[in-house]
Structure 1
Amino acid sequence: MRKDILTRIIGGFLIGIVMGQIVQFFVSMGIGQGKYVWVVPEFRAYFTDEISAIITQILLTGVIGITFALAALIFEMASWGMLKQYFVHFFITAMIWIPIVTLLWMPKTMANIFSLVASFLGTYIVTWVLQYRFSQRDIEKINAILTNRGEEQDD
């Protein structure tokens, strides 16, 4: 296994855990009535003890982190266009993120699931538009540099 892949896996796992704990902190603020809630009661109900639920939640948030870290490799596939990269990345991350987030934190209603999918899609569209504009700006800068070099060589 390449060292950069292992680094992505470990780093993604740790970032996923940290982000999961930040989310859990805010969820706890909403439902904890002044106490920290390690896992939401709906998720806790799947387990015989709280520690198993906590460990599973930590592992699942780590899986989300690994997914995003490894899926980012898609953007290094130069032979793919930017739109194809984003579509593939979107579907890979959505297939992991949406079910795990639903399992860990969301009440299982159609309205909540629709809201979660819509917010993921909306965030993704905004990210894509911003990234597209940044890429356009970078291309314009590179083209300007190349044009200037071409003009200097002509002199």
Structure 2
Amino acid sequence: MRKDLLIRIIGGFVIGAVLGQVVQFFVSMGIAQRSYAWVVPEFRALFTNEINAIITQVLLTGLIGITFAVAALFFEMARWGMLKQFIVHFFVTAIIWIPIVMILWMPKTMANVCSLLASFLGTYVVTWLLQYKLSKRDIEKINAMLIERGESHDD
């Protein structure tokens, strides 16, 4: 395994696990009365003890981090167009992120499922549009520099 991929995996796991605990903190503020809830009761009910639930939650949020860290490599595939990069990245991350978030934190109602899917898709559309505009601007700057130097992208 390449060293940079291993670093990406370890870093992704750590960032995912830490962000997962930050999310759990805010979820806990919403569900717990006077104490910290390490996991939501619905997730806790899937395990024989709370320690196993906490460890599983950390592993799952770490997996989310790994997924996003490794899936970012799709954006480095120069032969793929930006639309293909975003579509593949979207589906890979959605396949991991959505079920884990549903299991860890979301009450299982149709409204919540629709809200989660809409927010994930909406975030992606906005991100893609911003990235597209930035890339288009960068390409225009590069083309202008090439024309100024007497070169063109048609050469």
TM-score (norm 1): 0.94
Q: Structure 1: where are the runs of 5+ without partners?
A: none
* Counterparts of residues 27-46 of structure 1 (less than 5 Å): 27-46=27-46
SS in 2 for 1:79: coil
Task: Report the CA distance between 1:34 and its aligned residue.
Answer: 3.4
Distance, in Å, in 1 between the alignment partners of 2:68 and 2:6 is: 14
Distance, in Å, in 1 between the alignment partners of 2:146 and 2:34 is: 60
Could you report, residue by residue, the CA deviation over 1:79-131 in whole angstroms, capped at 9, with x for unpaired residues?
11111111111000000000000000001112111110111000111111111
* Counterparts of residues 96-107 of structure 1 (less than 5 Å): 96-107=96-107
Whichever residue aligns with residue 124 of structure 1, its letter is Y
- Please identify which structure carries the higher helix content: 1
TM-score (norm 2): 0.94
* Counterparts of residues 117-136 of structure 1 (less than 5 Å): 117-136=117-136
Distance, in Å, in 2 between the alignment partners of 1:140 and 1:28 is: 48
Distance, in Å, in 2 between the alignment partners of 1:23 and 1:34 is: 18
Distance, in Å, in 2 between the alignment partners of 1:143 and 1:32 is: 57
Alignment coverage as a number of residue pairs: 151
Q: Structure 2: where are the runs of 5+ without partners?
A: none
* Counterparts of residues 81-96 of structure 1 (less than 5 Å): 81-96=81-96
Distance, in Å, in 2 between the alignment partners of 1:141 and 1:27 is: 45
Please report the RMSD computed on the Cα atoms of aligned residues, expressed in angstroms: 1.0
Distance, in Å, in 1 between the alignment partners of 2:147 and 2:12 is: 40
Could you report, residue by residue, the CA deviation over 1:27-49 in whole angstroms, capped at 9, with x for unpaired residues?
01111123211100000000010
